[in-house]
Structure formats: structure tokens, C-alpha cells
Amino acid sequence: MEAETQAHDDDKPAAHGNGDDHGDAGETSTDGGDTELHGLLAEFETPGALIAAARKVKNAGYTEFDCYSPFPVHGIDDAMGIKRTKLPLVVFGGGLAGLCGGLLLQWWMNAYNWPWNVSGKPTWSLPANIPIAYETTILLSVLTTFFGMWAANKLPQVWHPFFRLDRFAKVTDDGMFIGIEASDQRFELEQTKQLLVAAGATHVEECHTDARPEARSVPRAIYGVMIVLTVAALIPFALAFKARASKSSDPHWHVFSDMDFQPKAKSDQPFAEFADGRANRGEIVGTIARGNLRADDAYYRGLRDGQWITELPAAFKVDADKLNRGQERYNVYCAPCHGFDGAGHGIVPERVALRGGAWEARNLVSSDSVVIKMPNGQLFNTISNGFNTMMGYAAQVPVDDRWAILLYVRALQRGQNATQAELPAGAQVR
């Protein structure tokens, strides 16, 4: 079998003039002598012959050699002495990282950083987190396998010296080759060639690489393209940076409208479809919205039979909480002008005075103030609807709170106009 295959390569194409018997450099790679020997490439007829030859090459002590075939030849690993790959161990590590990472991800996001309460169930419950941990385990194992394999195989490497030999194109079709590299310590051109022929090669060819520096440098056009691409890749970042650093009065881009623009009229907008041209619709005549009846004249308007009431309305229940509430609301809404004591020296008049202006805020508490004599109903009406430059507070302060404020104003008046005799024992001013 091997004796037969030692015959000369008689079907080689005309272009491959130098066969094993000439022993010269392959013509595919000679270029005015500026070449470097990469190694020898020997072709074999069958997978069996390849295995036998690989064993001989290995036994001869070579280490820098490889077999090339269109499909994995089973039995070659043993013949070449290829050690079992450690890839499975690496993949195990990847899978473990996927499992731990998947669990950590879910725990950190759903149980720690933002505990997610679903019907009062525990925030961390392993069974519901298994499916995703399972998938991340597989995903990371797969990624490790895929990229680990290519990295271990030193691929992608789109160019290899053997690709210079036309004959080597058969390696993905029907060709079986052994390539011994010149870098091997035992490599002696003639002896190695003899060994390959003796091992059953039908064709042995030298592989040269171009040693000229310009043949090994990357063409300028490729550098140019890379520079252009690199600069182009920075443009989006530059635009984003410009947007962050500058101001613009243009509205945002609405790629997706997200129901922001709807064919409907909003309140206080013109609307041609209605006779009055307004989008707002008033209350329908003869109807009152639920909760808006407000039939209690005393409570809502401070009136009885068209006269201001002097007492408090029956619907307003007086107690200490109401008084405290009134104080709190008064300090929010009234004190800025009328002052915390009600004497009309709030921060606003003072500040206006500092700037040379005049801002009269009524003194609510002095004994000659009109406010003291005002009936409760009228004071409530002033709080609600305003007076002179004072605006009404009906829009901001609910009815009950307005009565509470009134109550507090009455307390201020009473307190600041009290006589010594009226003070409780021990509290008199000496």
C-alpha cells in the first residue's frame, strides 16, 4: 500500500513544475531570491497513509509539524501525539460564571437594589429564579466554547504561508497533507524531504514566504480605511457630547410619539368644533357636579339670609386641633405679608421697603383695626375672595382650613388685646 503511493506525482498540473525530484524552491513563492523557507508540504493519498506518515514524522522527533485534511481524520491525534484539549475545563469555568452571574444578577436587581414585593412573597425565592440562571449558565458555556475554541486555534488568521501553494487548496476538498515547518530543530531540507517521501508522500513541495519588507507591510489603503472608520465611529459620540454641552430651544426628537400628540382638545385651548370656539365646556345648566352642591351658605360663603354671620358656622367644629391647624396654615399663607403676629410686618412689606417701595399689609390685630370689628362671615369672605391688592385664597386653601385660619386670627386678636386682669394667674406681665 505505502509502496504504491511512493510513486511520483504524475497527475500534478503543469504549473507545479518542481516536484519532489527537482528539490528546488517551489516556483509559487520564488521572487528574485528574496524569500524565506517556511517549511515543507507533503501530500498523501488516503487518510490511512496520512496517519501512518504522521506517526513516522512524530517518531523521527519532529514537533513543529501539522497534518491538514478536509475532515477530521480519526486516529490522527494519537499518531501525532496531540494532547487532549483543556477546552472542557475552560467551558466549565464559563458555565459556573454563568450560573453564579445569573443568580447574582437576579438577586441584586430584584431582592437587594430594588426589592420587588409581589403579593407579599419573599423578595428572594430561588425556584422562580432557576430558569434564568439555567439559561445564563448555558449562554456563558456556549460563548466560552465558541470563542475559546477559536482563540485556542489561533483563528481567525486569514493568511498562512501554505496558502501560497496552489496545491494546498485541495485541503478543503480531497487533499491530505503534512506540513513540517523550517523552525523545527530537526529540520534539514534534504533529510526532511527524504523522510516525507519515505513516509509515502506522493508530492513534496517547499513553501517559501516573501522576505521583502514591503511584501510584509500592510498596504497604505488599509491604514487609510481604518483611520477613516475610526474617525467615523467617533462622530456619534461627538454629537452626543455636543448635545450634552450645549443648549437648544428646539423640542426633543419624537421618534416614537408615545401618545404624546393625540387628536383631542385640552382645557383652555381654542376648539373650532364648538359654537363658542373654546375647548372648555361649562357646567350644564340646571346640574351640579357630585360633591359641589355647597348648599350650606354659612359654611361656604359666611352668609345667613344675605347678612354676614357673626358666629362660626355650625358645620365647623372647633377644637384645639383646628386652632393648631389654623396656626400652621396662617404661617404658610398669611404670615409672609401680615407677619407671624398679625401686625402687618411680614417679610414681603419689609423687603419691599428695603428696596424703596411701599407695600401696605393690614394690621389684623390692633384694637382699632377694622378686622377686629368685622363679622366672621365678612372676614371669611375676604380670605376666600381677597380685598384690594390681596388675592383670594379659595383656590389654594380648602374651606375648612380657611375657617381654621379665621379662628387663629381671632385668637391672635384676642391674645394681643388682652388686659392684665384677663391673663391666667402667674402669667401677668410685671
Partner 1 sequence: MASASEAHADDHGHGAENARETFRGITHDVTKVNLTPIGRWWYPAFGISLLLLGMLVVAVTHLFRTGIGIWGNNNIQGWAWDITNFVFWVGIGHAGTLISAVLYLFRQDWRTSINRSAEAMTIFAVACAGIFPILHTGRPWFAWWMIPHPNDMGMWPQFRSPLMWDVFAISTYATTSILFWYMGMVPDLATLRDKSKDKVRQVVYGLLSLGWRGSARQWHRYERAYLILAALSTPLVLSVHSVVSFDFATSQNPGWHTTILPPYFVAGAIFSGFAMVMTLMLPLRHVLGLKHIITQDHIHAMCKVTVATGTIVGGAYAIELFTAWYSGNLYEWFTFRNRILGPYAWAYFIMVSCNVIAPQFFWVKKFRSNLVFVWILCAFINVGMWFERFVIIVSSLARQALPGAWGYFEPTKWDFMTLAGSFGLFGTLFLLFVRFAPVVAMAEVKAVSPAAHAGKDDH
Nearest C-alpha neighbor of 21 from the set 177, 164, 206, 174: 206
Distance CA 170, CA 176 (A): 8
Min CB(316)–partner 1 separation in Å = 45
262 in contact with partner 1 (CB under 8 A): no
Q: Is the link from the previous residue into 13 a cis peptide, with omega within 30 of 0?
A: no
Residues 313-352 that bind partner 1 (CB under 8 A): none
Is the CB of 84 or the CB of 430 nearer to partner 1?
A: 84
Distance CA 92, CA 16 (A): 48
Min CB(199)–partner 1 separation in Å = 13
Min CB(256)–partner 1 separation in Å = 5
C-alpha cell at 289: 357636579
260 in contact with partner 1 (CB under 8 A): no
Is the CB of 53 or the CB of 412 nearer to partner 1?
A: 53
57 in contact with partner 1 (CB under 8 A): no
User: Could you tell me which stretch among 113-121, 219-227, 299-307, 401-409 binds partner 1 (CB under 8 A)?
Assistant: 113-121
Tell me 8's DSSP state.
-
- Binder of partner 1 out of 18, 30, 63, 110 (CB under 8 A): 110
Min CB(365)–partner 1 separation in Å = 50
280 in contact with partner 1 (CB under 8 A): no
156 in contact with partner 1 (CB under 8 A): yes
201 in contact with partner 1 (CB under 8 A): no
The secondary structure element, H or E, covering residue 400 is helix 399-416
| Helical residues (DSSP H) of 107-257, grouped into ranges | 126-152, 189-198, 213-216, 220-245
Min CB(379)–partner 1 separation in Å = 49
- Binder of partner 1 out of 8, 17, 31, 172 (CB under 8 A): 172
Q: Is 276 exposed, middle or buried (0-12, 13-18, 19+ CB in 10 A)?
A: exposed
6 in contact with partner 1 (CB under 8 A): no
408 in contact with partner 1 (CB under 8 A): no
Cβ–Cβ under 8 Å, residues 405 and 396? no
- Stretch 125-144: interaction string toward partner 1, x if CB under 8 A: x--xx-xx-xxx-xx-xxx-
401 in contact with partner 1 (CB under 8 A): no
63 in contact with partner 1 (CB under 8 A): no
355 in contact with partner 1 (CB under 8 A): no
Cβ–Cβ under 8 Å, residues 338 and 364? yes
Dihedrals φ, ψ of 3, to 5°? -60, -40
Give the burial string for 370-387 (b: 16+ CB within 10 Å, else e): ebbebebbbbbbbbbeee
- Binder of partner 1 out of 99, 105, 343, 394 (CB under 8 A): 105
- Binder of partner 1 out of 10, 15, 32, 71 (CB under 8 A): 71
82 in contact with partner 1 (CB under 8 A): yes
If one counts every other C-beta atom within 10 angstroms of the C-beta of residue 336, the result is 15
